[in-house]
Structure 1
């Protein structure tokens, strides 16, 4: 069994990221003098030697794009399919690395780095802007689905405020005024949608109500049960994503609350869940093919075209109206 120290072992000994270790050992700019000293000392202590075969491989074009995704997110599955198609057209192969219950973002990213992908496409990452900037110093990165302000990464994202506005305008035009939002948790995408809801409600002169949730069906069920337990039901619910919306609807069905007769429900992502006939969920469509196409083009233009300027592409989402929304029931 190979017991040679790995890049991750040096990073752990030095107390820095694997990206920083790689930059130091390659003599690349970025890390501070103190970081360089710690990394070199750790490498010496561990008798770390870079794999020469791997180094030679790294000098040749591999034409691999690494994709980070949440395996539990059906919208990510749609994006990956489109990314695979676009990458194939550009002459690239795709390596997938997934988030699961016991596999976090850092570990998933380390896998992509171990595969020596030439560029990374990150679907809705939760990493901080400084962490993304550090990653981008090692390999070109495209972030899909969320804004990034302080990192040298390319961004492809929907105009979330436009999407949330479309959902609320639809409900308000139907006559709804008591509209509850089920939150998507601590992630960057969820935070953007939450802010969009509060802003849109404030502009409409309505009272915002945000219920805690996460990005799962179970989180939606919990929120739905809490809504049912309230003395007065809202007339409409907007969920941060389709999985939450489906969970809310499940709780309503079990409690005998009619959708949309008593409460209208709107999701976000327009995933395959939303299109199922027995769910028939009104939802915000983000144009997965366009996001994938722009993400792959951004990566390839850096790798093949030599582009260095940061690129941000903002796409306009649109509302798809289905059977989960309708006019509110008259009071009394």
Structure 2
């Protein structure tokens, strides 16, 4: 006598209680073959609509969840875009957020691998290679061109927010030279001449932004009125640089350009604690237009990198590369976002 489905489900639950149900368990409870369950779960031809409904209902009752990773291992293509990014960089998080819908639109999933002080970029990328990603995207990569070449021998790769330095690896980046020149132009238009730039040390894009600042200063003939001081990409870097300037012999600048928003927020912290009015006494401009800069109590004027556009271009280049196209260097135009931290020199309206 046949055993009702509901009873078979109860029996199956009792047998595998304490472990994750498998496709074999679903087949036993549904009274069908494992091969037929596989057909239903993969949504491929070979089963009637009634059978599909029956198998899926039993699977749901058992709490069976298909192992998508195992499915991908059986496929010739994984459909995965691997992304290595620095967890401590807000703008990189903004790009990752935008990559999800862009990847889905292109029929891909993302696999993330974080870069932290205790886990380097090479290790983060290696995990993505082992997990059978079809391409590796490195956000804000610090790897030298030779190292990127080694990676490109194993898997298609591209970097974001800097030139790759090698024709074997593509890049999607903003025109950082132009972006910094736009910021200088804006400050000069507000009457500033005593402009200070806090650079990004060895951070990705630092060389290009420093070049843009130098070109902007030269174009406006600022001469000895503009200066560059060592900095970096974090809030403590901005704090150290601004503190050193205020405690040094140099005349206080009327405006500060920071390598990125995090550095600029460090600058704002120092000015706030010293009761120096922003922008009445000192104007401040960051770079990135990260979510931090958009908070109401910060209102940071900044050079905007369009995270959504970057994500779209990354996925477009991934598709082209996987279709056999060559690596490309895609350069996007930045724009200035004026908020409350930059104003006329001396507070004049």
Tell me the SS of whatever aligns to 1:262: coil
Tell me the SS of whatever aligns to 1:233: coil
Match among 239, 242, 250 for residue 258 of structure 2: 239
Alignment of 1:1-332 (within 5 A): 57=73, 60-206=76-222, 207=224, 208-231=226-249, 232-303=251-322, 305-307=323-325, 309-329=326-346
Tell me the SS of whatever aligns to 1:142: strand
Deviations 1:31-59 (A, max 9, x none): xxxxxxxxxxxxxxxxxxxxxxx9x9487
Match of 2:50 in 1: none
Q: What CA RMSD, in Å, does the superposition of the two structures yield over aligned residues?
A: 1.8
Task: Report if aligned partners of 1:282, 1:325 keep a CA contact under 8 Å in 2.
Answer: yes
Deviations 1:186-238 (A, max 9, x none): 12312221122122212222234211111111111111211221342100000
Cα distance in 2 for partners of 1:114, 1:196 equals: 39
Tell me the SS of whatever aligns to 1:272: coil
> What TM-score, normalized to structure 2?
0.75
Cα distance in 2 for partners of 1:64, 1:159 equals: 28
Task: Report if aligned partners of 2:86, 2:115 keep a CA contact under 8 Å in 1.
Answer: yes
Cα distance in 1 for partners of 2:126, 2:324 equals: 25
- Structure 1 gap ranges (5+): 1-53
Runs ≥4 residues deviating over 4 A = none
> What TM-score, normalized to structure 1?
0.79
Task: Report if aligned partners of 2:256, 2:284 keep a CA contact under 8 Å in 1.
Answer: yes
Cα distance in 1 for partners of 2:196, 2:162 equals: 23
Greater Rg over alpha carbons, structure:
2
Cα distance in 2 for partners of 1:109, 1:247 equals: 30
Cα distance in 1 for partners of 2:178, 2:211 equals: 12
Task: Report if aligned partners of 2:161, 2:204 keep a CA contact under 8 Å in 1.
Answer: no
Cα distance in 2 for partners of 1:108, 1:323 equals: 38
Tell me the SS of whatever aligns to 2:343: coil
Deviations 1:82-114 (A, max 9, x none): 111111111111111111122111111111122
Tell me the SS of whatever aligns to 1:185: coil
Cα distance in 2 for partners of 1:190, 1:70 equals: 16
- Structure 2 gap ranges (5+): 1-69
Task: Report if aligned partners of 2:167, 2:327 keep a CA contact under 8 Å in 1.
Answer: no
Which deviates further from its counterpart, 147-156 or 134-143?
A: 147-156
Cα distance in 2 for partners of 1:82, 1:197 equals: 29
CA apart distance, 1:319: 0.1
Task: Report if aligned partners of 1:129, 1:151 keep a CA contact under 8 Å in 2.
Answer: no
Cα distance in 2 for partners of 1:58, 1:248 equals: 52
